[in-house]
């Protein structure tokens, strides 16, 4: 397929299966899946649709080609050297990242290759990440005179501050194994085992009740930004509300009865 014809294909492929798994695949391999305006717009549209799907259970973000995502499209950015344009672009990217956090279902980054700058940000912003041993990660904006400010936001929330700062200041890349040790990804597997490992994680997530997962995810991010006393108050209230829900009532009763829980299908 030629580059010209490839560009006529959707910038993000959105599929879903009968289990409630939505897969978003970055589909601009010719530009290393850079987060151009069209890719960001397509991602936002897909995330908005998923947010309104009551049957959604998990989102997987993957990519076509050798690179997962090479960050922002620098050629596109250089073509419009105006402050107002840059402010609009980074606000658009921020909205995508926050939409991932605000989804009531887990988001898994499936990283098969290079993830740099805003691409590394996309991995860090996802709730979970599984990486191929071929993957590498970097926030090397300073190589072109641009500190990776927005990628630093989720990066420093994934790994210790000095390790994040070293990546931001040196622009040096880390391997998938190093990313796992530092807390950027959860699992690293051989390249040909990536799909199978993601499926294992999906199976674990699908076995849990959607409603409790949604409550827990919202609480996880909210409490992280507060002091410890406020965090405990939020957590206690969330657990109290969760405990009154039908899924927890069934789960506890199943434990008492020494049987597997039968999660309510249409629990609200």
* Per-residue pLDDT reduced to its tens digit, 197-236: 999 999 999 999 999 999 999 999 999 988 878 888 888 8
What is the structure's pLDDT at 23? 98
Same fold, 3-206 and 210-257: no
Rounded to whole angstroms, how far apart are CA atoms 43 and 125?
Answer: 14
What is the structure's pLDDT at 5? 38
What is the structure's pLDDT at 268? 44
Q: Each residue of 135-165: pLDDT tens digit?
A: 999 999 999 888 999 999 999 999 999 999 9
| Intervals of the chain under pLDDT 70 | 1-6, 266-268
What is the structure's pLDDT at 248? 82
Residue in this structure with the two tokens 């990313």, named with its chain if needed: 179
Contact 21, 199 (CB under 8 A): no
Which residues, in sequence order, are CB contacts of 19 under 8 Å at separation 6+? 57, 202, 206
What is the structure's pLDDT at 239? 78
Which residues, in sequence order, are CB contacts of 29 under 8 Å at separation 6+? 6, 63, 64, 65, 66, 67
Arch. (CATH architecture) of 3-206: Alpha-Beta Complex (3.90)
Going from N- to C-terminal start, the domains of the chain cover: 3-206, 210-257
What is the structure's pLDDT at 266? 57
What is the structure's pLDDT at 265? 77
What is the structure's pLDDT at 179? 98
Query: Could you count the other beta carbons within 10 Å of the beta carbon of residue 106?
Result: 20
**Domain 210-257 indexed as CATH 2.40.50.140:** no
Contact 202, 107 (CB under 8 A): no
């Amino acid at each position: 397929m030629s580059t010209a014809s490839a560009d006529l294909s959707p910038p993000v492929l959105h599929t879903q299966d009968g289990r409630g798994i939505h897969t978003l695949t970055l589909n601009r391999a010719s530009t290393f899946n850079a987060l151009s305006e069209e890719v960001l717009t397509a991602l936002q549209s897909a995330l908005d649709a998923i947010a309104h799907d009551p049957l959604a259970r998990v989102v997987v973000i993957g990519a076509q080609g050798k690179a997962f995502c090479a960050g922002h499209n620098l050629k596109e950015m250089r073509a419009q050297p105006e402050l107002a344009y840059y402010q609009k672009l980074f606000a658009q990217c921020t909205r995508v990242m926050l939409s991932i956090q605000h989804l009531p279902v887990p988001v898994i980054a499936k990283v098969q290759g290079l993830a740099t700058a805003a691409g590394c940000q996309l991995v860090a912003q996802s709730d979970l990440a599984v990486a191929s041993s071929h993957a590498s990660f970097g926030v090397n904006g300073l190589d072109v005179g641009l500190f990776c400010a927005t990628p630093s936001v989720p990066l420093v929330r994934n790994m210790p501050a000095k390790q994040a700062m070293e990546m931001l200041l040196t622009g040096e890349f880390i391997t998938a194994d190093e990313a796992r040790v530092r807390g950027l990804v959860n699992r690293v597997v051989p390249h040909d085992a990536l799909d199978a490992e993601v499926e294992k994680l999906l199976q674990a997530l699908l076995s849990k009740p959607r409603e409790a997962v949604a409550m827990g995810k919202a609480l996880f991010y909210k409490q992280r930004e507060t002091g410890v006393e406020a965090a405990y108050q939020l957590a206690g209230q969330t657990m109290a509300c969760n405990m009154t829900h039908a899924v927890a009532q069934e789960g506890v009763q199943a434990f008492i009865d020494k049987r597997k829980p039968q999660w309510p299908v249409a629990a609200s």
